[in-house]
Amino acid sequence: MSEQDIANIIAIEPGKRGGKPCIRGMKITVYDMLEYLASGMIYEEILDDFPYLTQEDIWACLSFS
């Protein structure tokens, strides 16, 4: 995933979630996603729980720096 792809998915907006990086303007942060994964959720479970997310969103969170 290129930096441009990541930039199209992850954005920081002042006033939204305290300025934390969020996925596609939603209120789900990169940190939320990493916590889900660290807790043992697999991407299929995340996508089932959040059907508006994509596998690319998860990959962008993992690639974000």
CATH 3.30.70.270 fits 3-63, yes or no: no
Which whole number is the average pLDDT over 17-44? 95
Q: What is the pLDDT of residues 3-18, one digit of tens each?
A: 899 999 999 999 899 9
The mean of the pLDDT values for the chain is 94
Higher pLDDT pick, 65 / 11: 11
Q: Where are the domains of the chain?
A: 3-63
Alpha carbon distances (Å) from 37 to 11, 27, 32, 47:
20, 17, 9, 12
Residue matched to tokens 């290129």 = 2
Cβ atoms 26, 33 nearer than 8 A: no
What contacts 23, CB < 8 A, 6 or more positions away?
A: 9, 10, 29, 30, 33, 53, 57, 60, 61
The whole-model pTM stands at: 0.90
Q: What is the pLDDT of residues 43-58, one digit of tens each?
A: 999 999 999 999 999 9
